[in-house]
Amino acid sequence: MKKTMLLVSSSPSTSVGLRSYLTHIFGRYIKLEARLADDVTSELMEQFDLVLFASKGAARALETSMTPKIHFLICIRTFNFTYLNKILSIPPNSDVYLVNDSEKTTKSAIRLLSTYGFSQYHFVPYYPGCGEADYSIQYAVTLGEERYVPRHIPNVMDIGVRVADVSTIAEIASFFNLSMSIADVVTQNYLNQFVQLLKMSNYQVRQTTNMNFITQSIIHNIDIGVCMVNKEHVIIMVNNPFVKELEIQKPHLVGVSILEAVPEFEEILKKHQEPESLTTEIIRHESKKVMVTLQKIRDANHEDLTLIHLGRRMIREDSAEDNGLQIRDGVLNPEQKTETWYQFRDYRSENTQVLRMLEMAKRISLTDYRVLIQGETGTGKEVLAQAIHNNSSRCRNAFVKVNLSAMSELQAAKELDTAEENSAARHAQGGTLYLDGIHNLTQDLQRVTLGLLDSPFNVRLIASTDQNLYEMSREGLFLRELFYRMNEVSLATLPVRERLEDVPLLFEYFMRNIYNTPSLTWRELFSDGLWEFLMGYCWPGNGKEIENLCKYFYCVKSDRKLTERDLPPYILSQIRENEEHLSPLERQVLIALSQNPKKGRAALLRIVREQGVDVTEGKIRRLLQDLSDRGLVRTNRTKGGCEITGKGETFL
Ligand SMILES: Nc1ncnc2c1ncn2[C@@H]1O[C@H](COP(=O)(O)OP(=O)(O)OP(=O)(O)O)[C@@H](O)[C@H]1O
């Protein structure tokens, strides 16, 4: 009997586009039905072998209808690379409308395009209800939503809906126990599109476009090993699966001869020299047989290149059979973290500024620059550092952390000493050394670190701090030279109180992991009162504090929804302090000061009276004195005027 799959989407165009793409690939093996999320019930989902959600939004809409019987997968979607050439026909530096069906999908498409390297255009979001169209804009790119494009635009490029990426195709094939050659066909398709991009002869486009970045993005999105070499067999591009499959120990592969990295390729590369040819052979490497395909290409600059791709199956010498990919049991959960180390997908945020920072971090990971990450404690600086390492060409080698805030000067000196056999620096050779809390380095050790940067020792440094290192260098507390040498590129993390939209996201992320329930929502666990408190809390410990709180709640035994009373003692005491000490008038004065900083007593009196409070000047004077004694306001005696302190702000 044919297997069955239900495709659940939030928008009709995604449903139609994705259905036809998946039917093209799986039509012969799987009976596919497509529905909009609004029309789907638990009973319907239970009738299918697998439910494929077109997006996280579609999955979220049905969160409450999920039952243990339902096997589901959330589709990872990417552009249909066949159509990317269309975008490149737009003159660089143009303003271009990016048209999609909602604000969220439009903005996420813009982000994805810039991640892919389309940095030569200024994309302007356009979606139903976003306001008047700008008549000066002459170009529009849409993802299958031509009907929403403003009428005045003469040049419309439809790049089709985003399709399922190769890893999703491979997961579906694996789930239904289908041949992996299905995923291979899709991969080959991607590779062909990639080759087409390389061959693009439009000279102007090549000059003005970040083609290298675009082609690299495509290579990095393919889940089989791919490497491109030039006529001299020097590696021009290589992706992580290639390094991993062949267990190449050498860092910095770009610029290195492939024969140095994998000597077994010599024969096959010598044998096949004819241009524009395609050859597949099995070679022996370590204890495996590897299927290798060589594709000869002549690019737009008439340069002869060879694309090497590895077969999806590795055949172990010691096994009689080709065992292919492992088939996973149970419910598929793409959110599940399988590795010990963090990846970019583990850094959770919906905040635009943070998402921009993450895009930059991804770009940084493709380079070997030194990175300085600044941000408050618990904002995920180490998560970022690990993600950069794991996405870099050094990922096969060690990521070693040195926590400089937690060790003596002597110990820190040992860890940084490359001559010391067991030092962190030695362990990190070829990989990444993460200096956590770099501002703690003494002047002597700052000089030692400078020495490390000057030595030929092969290590990438990533440092983090919660201090303003630039100010410290200006005040002579941190070597300026080290500041600038460390800070080849920098990233800044945002405190949680400046991105409160992430609070629900982080709570659900940690709770789902801790409770091991992928569909859990905060509503199921927290009373409204507790939630209101959590949304108003200032989160001085940021993401770490949210994570700790989830662990705490997990350990609080409760047969009812959690309430404020279930908060840990250190937060409860803050609440009590607030309740005990702030009278309604004191609260009103603090709010007025927070909104009108540096106001004098007379102005403050006027503001409070305008709010309908009958109060004398003497009472305000005594009240300000009292608040000042408790450290909640600061009075400037010479210039007059008062302002709220940080402690005062937390009271609000
Ligand atoms: N945006 C985020 N997404 C996912 N997890 C996060 C995020 N921010 C913080 N965390 C979690 O918070 C914890 C602390 O993160 P991490 O150690 O990277 O913070 P940090 O900024 O390096 O802190 P410190 O300065 O104290 O070393 C981690 O367990 C991580 O899972």
Domain 360-493 falls in which CATH fold?
Answer: Rossmann fold (3.40.50)
Give distance in angstroms: CA of 563 to centre of ligand 1: 26
Ligand 1 within 6 A of CB of 165:
no
Residue nearest to atom 5 of ligand 1 (CA): 347
- Out of 379, 469, 491, 548, give the residue to mutate to test ligand 1, the one with the largest number of ligand atoms within 8 Å of its CB: 379
Cβ of 381 below 6 Å from ligand 1:
yes
Residue predicted with more confidence, 285 or 337: 285
Which among 461, 273, 445, 303 has a CA at the least distance from the CA of 371?
Answer: 461
User: What spacing in Å lies between the alpha carbon of 544 and ligand 1's midpoint?
Assistant: 5
Angle CA 167–60–33, to nearest 5: 60
Which of 32-36, 207-211, 229-233 has the lowest average pLDDT? 207-211
467 lines ligand 1 (CB under 6 A): no
- Please report the pLDDT score of residue 330 as a whole number: 25
Residue 71 CB less than 6 A away from ligand 1: no
Q: What is the dihedral of CA 164, 168, 169, 173, to 10 degrees?
A: -150
Over 80: is that where the pLDDT of 139 sits? yes
Distance separating alpha carbons of residues 316 and 318, to the nearest angstrom:
5
Distance in Å, CA 486 to ligand 1 centroid = 21
Q: Which helix (DSSP H) or strand (DSSP E) does residue 434 occupy?
A: strand 432-436
Evaluate: CB of 386 within 6 angstroms of ligand 1: no
Ligand 1 atom with the shortest distance to the CA of 509: 4
ipTM: 0.97
Range with top average pLDDT, 158-162, 233-237, 426-430: 426-430
Task: Confirm or reject: Cβ of 539 under 6 Å from ligand 1.
Answer: no
Could you tell me the pLDDT band of residue 338, with boundaries at 50, 70 and 90?
A: very low
If you compute the radius of gyration of the chain from its CA atoms, what whole number of angstroms results?
29
C-alpha 382 – ligand 1 centre gap (Å): 6
Q: How confident is the model at residue 317 (pLDDT cuts 50, 70, 90)?
A: very low
For residue 217, the model assigns a pLDDT of 65
pLDDT over 70 (residue 207): no
Instruction: Report pLDDT for 312.
Output: 58
Average pLDDT of the chain is 82
**pLDDT confidence tier of residue 298, bands split at 50, 70 and 90:** confident
Please answer whether residues 199 and 297 qualify as being in contact, where contact means their C-beta atoms are separated by less than 8 angstroms.
yes
Closest CA to 597 of 535, 538, 646, 539: 646
Query: What is the CA(547)–ligand 1 centre distance, in A?
Result: 9
Q: How far is CA 257 from the centre of its chain?
A: 32
| 463 pocket-lining for ligand 1 (C-beta < 6 Å) | no
pLDDT at 479: 95
Domain locations in the chain as residue ranges? 3-75, 81-164, 166-316, 360-493, 497-579, 582-651
The pair of structure tokens assigned to 274 is: 């004819």
pLDDT band of 424, cuts 50, 70, 90:
very high
Q: How far apart are CA 55 and CA 112, in angstroms?
A: 14
Residue 313 has pLDDT above 70, yes or no: no
CATH topology of domain 497-579: Helicase, Ruva Protein; domain 3 (1.10.8)
Fold of 582-651: Arc Repressor Mutant, subunit A (1.10.10)
Distance between Cα 55 and ligand 1 center (Å): 26
- Torsion, CA 353, CA 356, CA 360, CA 362, rounded to 10: 120
Which residue(s) pair with 599 in the sheet? Answer: 642
What is the 3-class SS of 584-632, one letter each residue?
Answer: HHHHHHHHHHHHCCCECHHHHHHHHHHCCCCCCHHHHHHHHHHHHHCCC
Q: Give the torsion sign (CA, 413, 419, 420, 421).
A: positive
| CA–centroid distance, residue 492 to ligand 1 (Å) | 13
Mean pLDDT of 331-347: 51
* Rounded (10°) CA dihedral 557, 559, 563, 565: -50
Residues 166-316, CATH architecture: 2-Layer Sandwich (3.30)
In the predicted structure, residue 7 carries a pLDDT above the cut 60: yes
Q: Is 544 in the pocket of ligand 1 (CB under 6 A)?
A: yes
Which one is the CATH code of 3-75: 1.10.760.10, 3.50.50.60, 3.40.50.620, 3.40.50.360? 3.40.50.360
541-574 pLDDT, tens per residue?
A: 999 999 999 989 888 756 678 888 889 989 888 7
- The reply to whether domains 166-316 and 360-493 share a CATH topology is no
Ligand 1 pocket, residue 499 CB under 6 Å: no
pLDDT at position 578: 65
* Side chain identity, residue 601: R
Closest C-alpha to ligand 1, atom 30: 380
Side by side, which strands form the sheet with 226-229?
Answer: 235-238, 226-229, 304-316, 288-298, 278-285
492 against 580, higher pLDDT = 492
Distance 541 CA to ligand 1 centre (A): 9
Q: Left, alpha or beta for 323 (phi > 0: left; psi -120 to 50: alpha)?
A: alpha
Residue 292: pLDDT band with limits 50, 70, 90: confident
436 Cα nearest atom in ligand 1: 27
What mean pLDDT do residues 41-54 have?
A: 94
CA of 479 to the centre of ligand 1 (A): 27
Looking at residue 114, its pLDDT comes to: 74
Q: How far is the CA of 191 from the centre of ligand 1 (A)?
A: 37
**pLDDT for position 137:** 94
Ligand 1 site-directed mutation target among 386, 544, 548, most atoms within 8 Å of CB:
544
* Residue 547 Cβ contacting ligand 1 at under 6 Å: yes
